[in-house]
């Protein structure tokens, strides 16, 4: 019996063999999407471990939000860690994170391999270089710390340039015209 199942964002191509004891043996391949660790998987963990992952995920969200204001605290890695924790523990928290008005679209684009919008990249880099330059030039007097700050800014800039740039689809011309004339 050949089957093709699409469950939990994975595709299974293969056959099923029913055993005498009632269990099923699957033969074939399971293919996961590119960023499978960020897809909600449904949890097979015990309730204690799920609670630990929800608490860790929530801590990572808080650290990611702090990273929005403080350039030395990275936002993206913490939000991605939160997504992984939530993907393994709580569908409710996972959906909340990926539908959040501030960073939901950002995470969905990253998860789907689309990248980061150009305006987000530019804003991040301007804010990063402004704060790092001010810190290294006027606040920090220790030379090796100044060099380290500039090194961090350079590494983050290189990473931002390496990541794909997401170009949102523009609205059709007619829809734009309808909004202008209807107001």
Give residue for tokens 């961090």: 152
Average pLDDT of 40-63? 86
Is residue 143 over pLDDT 90?
yes
pLDDT (0 to 100) of residue 56: 95
**Distance of alpha carbon 72 from its chain centroid, rounded?**
19
Q: Which distant-in-sequence residues (6+ apart) come within 8 Å of 110 by Cβ?
A: 35, 38, 76, 80, 116
Report the mean per-residue pLDDT for the chain.
76
pLDDT digits (tens, 9 = 90+) for 91-109: 899 999 999 988 888 888 8
pLDDT (0 to 100) of residue 120: 80
Is residue 67 over pLDDT 80?
yes
Are 157 and 125 contacting, i.e. CB atoms less than 8 angstroms apart?
yes
Give, for 153, the enclosing helix (H) or strand (E): helix 143-162
pTM, rounded to two decimals: 0.57
Is residue 167 over pLDDT 60?
yes
pLDDT (0 to 100) of residue 6: 40
Whole-number Cα distances in Å, 39 to 4, 75, 79: 20, 19, 14
State how beta strands 116-117 and 165-166 pair.
parallel
């Amino acid at each position: 019996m050949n089957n093709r199942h699409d469950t939990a964002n994975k595709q299974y191509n293969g056959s099923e063999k029913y055993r005498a004891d009632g269990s099923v043996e699957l033969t074939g391949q399971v293919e996961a999407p590119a960023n499978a660790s960020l897809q909600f998987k449904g949890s097979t963990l015990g309730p204690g471990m799920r609670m630990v992952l929800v608490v860790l995920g929530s801590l990572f969200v808080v650290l990611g939000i702090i990273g929005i204001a403080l350039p030395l605290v990275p936002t993206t890695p913490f939000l991605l860690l939160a997504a992984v924790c939530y993907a393994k523990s709580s569908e409710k928290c996972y959906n909340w994170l990926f539908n959040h008005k501030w960073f939901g679209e950002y995470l969905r684009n990253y998860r789907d391999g689309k990248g980061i919008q150009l305006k987000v990249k530019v804003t991040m880099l301007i804010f990063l270089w402004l704060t790092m330059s001010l810190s290294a030039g006027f606040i920090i007097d220790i030379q090796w710390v100044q060099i380290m700050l500039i090194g961090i800014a350079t590494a983050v800039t290189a990473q931002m340039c390496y990541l794909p740039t997401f170009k949102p689809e523009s609205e059709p011309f007619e829809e734009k015209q309808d909004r202008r004339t209807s107001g």
